């Protein structure tokens, strides 16, 4: 009898232990998945390649013939870019009535439901940007998760005069490119993503919707007309270049904040058309399938900008300032016959510099 009781007690203890283990395993797999995923990103191992300086060349008298000059650039690494969404407001649409503003802040704070986002903090952000250009987007909150993003998107879907229709969401990585673009004074550009242009048909039988695409080109030409942008036929012609390179193609550079806002508001009529910093476009053009590769988005920056980018790594995650050594020849082509060429001479160079007879 005593042995039976001991066996039963042991079985109960083992059963409880297995149940607790199963509960903890479920908790780690589902409730804590995001936490451990972020930790894994922080401990990822990557190979970082740096360009080695080539040797400095002197003549027998110690005169420097060849040296290495630093070239500074901005790079972006995809795996380090922020995820989630950010919330923006365009100041021109901000309610003039103080009560309406308070209601807007209260509703946003309720939807976001985070201790760092309160009606007071939102009011402080808006008031602090009082002199900001009216069509320049104002960042209200960063790093919104999927649940919050969906709740805000649903609340802003009604455009019938609701105050929430004045706010909008964007991928968090656009904040990084926007911040970098502001540092180097990069222009806003309009670019086209061919894969997002209208298609018709279903399954594997999809073909280009030519009528739908013509409408997109016409709508975009209308938006860009005040800036002297291309007409619909010119925009259509750019599509061939985009398809041949399997990359986005720039349609227009130097877009104003107002036109950028109009394109955003008319996104439904402009599928495949995007507005962003020139650095964002450069990143997409040079996109690497390897998430750990650093993509150069801006070359030949000043040392001052180089230092600023390095100091803003926390504000602009995923960005980095890099240095590349560039070969510099003290006396130009004077010693070319001794030092050699960087590559084979071309026919044009040979014609411009014929060998002596």
Length of the chain (residues):
357
Lowest-confidence pick of 18-22, 48-52, 126-130 = 48-52
- pLDDT of 118: 93
What mean pLDDT comes out for the span 88-106?
Answer: 87
**Residue, of 123 and 52, whose pLDDT is higher:** 123
* C-alpha gyration radius of the chain: 28
Q: What is the pLDDT of residues 185-227, one digit of tens each?
A: 999 999 998 888 898 887 778 888 899 999 999 999 999 999 9
* Sheet bearing 188-192, strands edge to edge: 249-253, 188-192, 273-277
Domains of the chain, by residue range, sit at 47-76+172-357, 84-171
What mean pLDDT comes out for the span 65-92?
Answer: 88
**Residue, of 229 and 25, whose pLDDT is higher:** 229
* Distances in whole angstroms, Cα of residue 55 to Cα of each of 68, 115, 326, 337: 8, 56, 12, 18
**Residue, of 55 and 298, whose pLDDT is higher:** 298
Burial of 246-259, coded b for 16+ CB within 10 Å and e otherwise, reads ebbbbbbeebebbb
In whole numbers, what is the pLDDT of the chain averaged over residues? Answer: 84
- pLDDT of 87: 93
CA angle, residues 43, 45, 51, in degrees to nearest 5:
130
Q: What's the pTM value of the predicted model, to 2 decimals?
A: 0.74
Q: What is the pLDDT of residues 216-267, one digit of tens each?
A: 999 999 999 999 999 999 998 887 665 555 688 899 999 999 999 999 989 8
Q: How many whole angstroms separate alpha carbon 84 and alpha carbon 34?
A: 12
Q: Is the pLDDT of residue 307 over 80?
A: yes
What percentage of the chain exceeds 70 in pLDDT?
86
Torsion over CA of 302, 308, 311 and 315, rounded to 10 degrees?
A: -130
Q: What is the pLDDT of residues 84-96, one digit of tens each?
A: 999 998 888 888 8
Q: What is the pLDDT of residues 33-62, one digit of tens each?
A: 777 776 665 565 555 556 667 788 888 888
**Residue, of 132 and 309, whose pLDDT is higher:** 309
* Helix segments in the chain, DSSP class H: 2-26, 33-42, 98-112, 119-128, 146-155, 173-184, 210-224, 232-245, 257-265, 278-285, 303-311, 336-339, 347-352
Query: In which band, very low, low, confident or very high, does the pLDDT at 161 lie, cut at 50, 70 and 90?
Result: very low
Q: How many whole angstroms separate alpha carbon 157 and alpha carbon 106?
A: 18
Q: How many whole angstroms separate alpha carbon 161 and alpha carbon 348?
A: 64
Q: How many whole angstroms separate alpha carbon 101 and alpha carbon 285?
A: 40
Lowest-confidence pick of 103-117, 132-146, 238-252 = 238-252
Torsions phi, psi of 68, nearest 5? -115, 120
Half-sphere exposure of 85 (CA within 13 A, CB side): 16
- pLDDT of 127: 86
Q: How many whole angstroms separate alpha carbon 194 and alpha carbon 284?
A: 13
Q: Map tokens 């016959």 to a residue.
A: 337
- pLDDT of 243: 59
What mean pLDDT comes out for the span 22-32?
Answer: 82
Region at 354 (left for phi over 0; alpha for psi -120 to 50; beta for the rest): beta
């Amino acid at each position: 009898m005593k042995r039976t009781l001991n066996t039963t007690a042991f079985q109960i203890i083992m059963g409880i232990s297995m149940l607790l283990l199963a509960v903890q395993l479920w908790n780690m797999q589902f409730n804590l998945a995001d936490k451990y995923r972020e930790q894994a990103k922080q401990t990822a191992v990557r190979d970082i390649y740096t360009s080695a300086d080539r040797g400095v060349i002197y003549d027998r008298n110690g005169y420097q013939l060849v040296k290495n000059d630093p070239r500074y650039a901005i790079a972006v690494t995809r795996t380090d870019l922020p995820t989630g969404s950010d919330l923006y407001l365009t100041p021109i649409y901000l309610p003039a009535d103080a009560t309406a503003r308070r209601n807007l802040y209260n509703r946003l704070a309720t939807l976001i439901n985070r201790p760092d986002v309160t009606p007071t903090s939102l009011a402080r952000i808006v008031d602090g940007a009082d002199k900001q250009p009216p069509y320049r987007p104002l960042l209200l909150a960063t790093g919104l998760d999927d649940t919050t993003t969906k709740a805000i998107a649903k609340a802003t879907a009604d455009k019938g005069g609701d105050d929430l229709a004045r706010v909008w969401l964007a991928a968090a990585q656009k904040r990084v490119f926007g911040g970098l673009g502001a540092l180097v004074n990069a222009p806003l550009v309009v670019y086209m993503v061919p894969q997002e242009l209208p298609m018709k048909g279903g399954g594997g039988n999809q073909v280009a919707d030519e009528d739908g695409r013509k409408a997109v080109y016409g709508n975009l030409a209308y938006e860009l007309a005040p800036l002297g942008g291309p007409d619909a036929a010119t925009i259509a012609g750019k599509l061939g270049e985009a398809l041949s390179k399997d990359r986005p193609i720039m349609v227009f550079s130097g877009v104003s904040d107002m036109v950028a806002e109009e394109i955003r508001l008319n996104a439904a009529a402009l599928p495949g058309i995007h507005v962003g910093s020139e650095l964002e476009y450069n990143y997409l053009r040079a996109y690497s399938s390897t998430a750990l590769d650093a993509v150069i988005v801006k070359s030949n920056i000043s040392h001052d900008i180089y230092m600023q980018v390095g100091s803003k790594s926390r504000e602009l995650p995923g960005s980095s300032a890099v240095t590349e050594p560039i070969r510099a020849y003290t006396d130009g082509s004077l010693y070319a016959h001794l030092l050699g060429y960087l590559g084979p001479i071309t026919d044009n160079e040979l014609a411009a510099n014929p060998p002596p007879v």
